[in-house]
Structure 1
């Protein structure tokens, strides 16, 4: 159905123009009509979807993450690093919103922190806009690399947002015995995972491997992420 629709709306009028009015060779006119149709479909695909039901408005998939009711995130990009905090229910309010600018480089807004490689949709681009909630707008290229999006952009934003609320996202693993928690901070960026896993194997409760949320009164909150081991 979508091919028939595009044929009627784009290709046939172009063929009529190229051949009937400009008297171009049929083969050349057909090739150019296909190229123009492809470019039009590509442009429309950012806002519209071609399906068996016809042409429908494109709707982004939205993911929600609730970090101990301290920070709530809404994202158009899945964030594997925050899988533990994923929730299927829409959140009534959010503190951080991540969305993708389908047109390329995010547009700068007053007071925004903006960075762009100048490659539009094919490069690294981000605009961070604080306000009642923090809006993080990224270029389409970052949608394809959730890890780079998280490590390069979202993790620093999380650190700042936690700090604004009286918490700190500190680098270090953590395990607990009863109500007492132990924070493992490596001296040379190695050994913390092994130390945490050794304690867990001895009966301790696992809280975090890479980062831990620490409140000013000394209370810790788990921040589990996929565990990685280095040789």
Structure 2
């Protein structure tokens, strides 16, 4: 079947007596913003999703796994937020009802997400609080995990870093990229297969207050530096802590977050904007460091403890509402919340058991970028740079 779209000139020359055709012409057969995450999912959206810009593709009339649209969700204002779920449809309504950060998820194929107008104006909040949570468990249905971690290729060695939010992971990544000429895969989330293969997920980096020490003066313009001093404070560990504290009160916290981030956007930059680097498609992970602010230490972590701690770090990244109330309603590929969580744990266990050494690296002076290269040398990885795995594909960032 051939579908013909009228041109703009044809639409202008159409008789005035046929206004009913306008809604049909405005309704797209596909969504304007489309993103193809290889091996995972195609996402189509009516709003831009800057965190997925690396995966942006031209809009095409092809099936998507997840579709995001803007529409009216929720009813009148209410005294408390609520989540309702029935027949595969979950609706989250905040205090402001249809005027707040309400959304609806239809757990089908494709998976349909409808966000209210306020969320549509703050796509960062829509992505972080809703869409990424769905991507996390969509990955599980594909036999992968979306792990809260950073990943680099350092001299041919696949290295992952995991930490609690705002520990210092981003600053460490920037230093390793600059000083070790590492190749970039991810800073915040990494797609990992059961065989230990990490795939790139290069979201823009969020520059918090303590990350500023890893940025050199000429990396940004004077105007960017002025903005960054305010942005980094608001979006720092302290700012996030205030948000989490407010979330415990009976307040429309996601709507407040959407308005705040529209006024003061989070300080986000691609890795290549801050330091010259390449972005690699995939790498076999050999070393995983759980970094933490503590007394100086280096210690191995057993498999069970590593699985538990890595999942805790991942959950920590989803601590902001409404994940705790919304996520348990997720059903994908016939698996409910408990089954998806159990499968996620099993995938991670298999990945770590494939040959990834996990160690804890404590520091009280942010010196992880100094110690990790030396630990790789001591671990017998000197020659790996000359024996790059065949499954690594470098791409220019």
The answer to whether TM tops 0.5 is: yes
1:209 equivalent in structure 2: 187
Selected match of 1:167 from 144, 150, 158 = 144
Bigger relative CO (Cα 8 Å, ≥ 6 apart): 2
Shift of the alpha carbon at 1:178?
Answer: 5.8
Contact 1:96 1:134 in 2 (8 A): yes
Shift of the alpha carbon at 1:187?
Answer: 4.9
2:65 equivalent in structure 1: 95
Shift of the alpha carbon at 1:122?
Answer: 1.2
1:148 equivalent in structure 2: 125
2:90 equivalent in structure 1: 113
1:129 maps onto 2:98 in alignment: no
- Secondary structure of 2:52's counterpart equals helix
Shift of the alpha carbon at 1:226?
Answer: 1.2
TM-score norm. by structure 1 comes to 0.69
Shift of the alpha carbon at 1:73?
Answer: 0.3
Shift of the alpha carbon at 1:89?
Answer: 3.7
- Secondary structure of 2:205's counterpart equals coil
The number of aligned residues is 179
2:49 equivalent in structure 1: 79
Shift of the alpha carbon at 1:93?
Answer: 1.8
TM-score norm. by structure 2 comes to 0.42
Contact 1:72 1:91 in 2 (8 A): no
1:223 equivalent in structure 2: 201
Give, in whole Å, the separation in 2 of the partners of 1:129 and 1:179.
43
1:205-231 deviation line (CA, Å, top 9, x unaligned): 011111111111100011111122222
- Secondary structure of 1:136's counterpart equals strand
1:186 equivalent in structure 2: 163
Give the gaps of 5 or more residues in structure 2: 1-11, 76-83, 211-397
Contact 2:32 2:59 in 1 (8 A): no
Contact 2:145 2:193 in 1 (8 A): yes
Give, in whole Å, the separation in 2 of the partners of 1:93 and 1:66.
11
1:198 maps onto 2:198 in alignment: no
- Secondary structure of 1:128's counterpart equals strand
Two-structure CA RMSD over aligned residues (Å): 2.5
Cα gap change, 1:62 to 1:188, in 2 (>3 Å): closer
1:48-80 deviation line (CA, Å, top 9, x unaligned): xxxxx5864344662100011411100111101
1:18-58 deviation line (CA, Å, top 9, x unaligned): xxxxxxxxxxxxxxxxxxxxxxxxxxxxxxxxxxx586434
Give, in whole Å, the separation in 2 of the partners of 1:220 and 1:120.
40
Selected match of 2:116 from 139, 144, 147 = 139
Shift of the alpha carbon at 1:88?
Answer: 1.3
Determine which structure has more spread, i.e. the larger CA radius of gyration.
Answer: 1
Q: Answer 1 or 2: which has greater helix percent.
A: 2
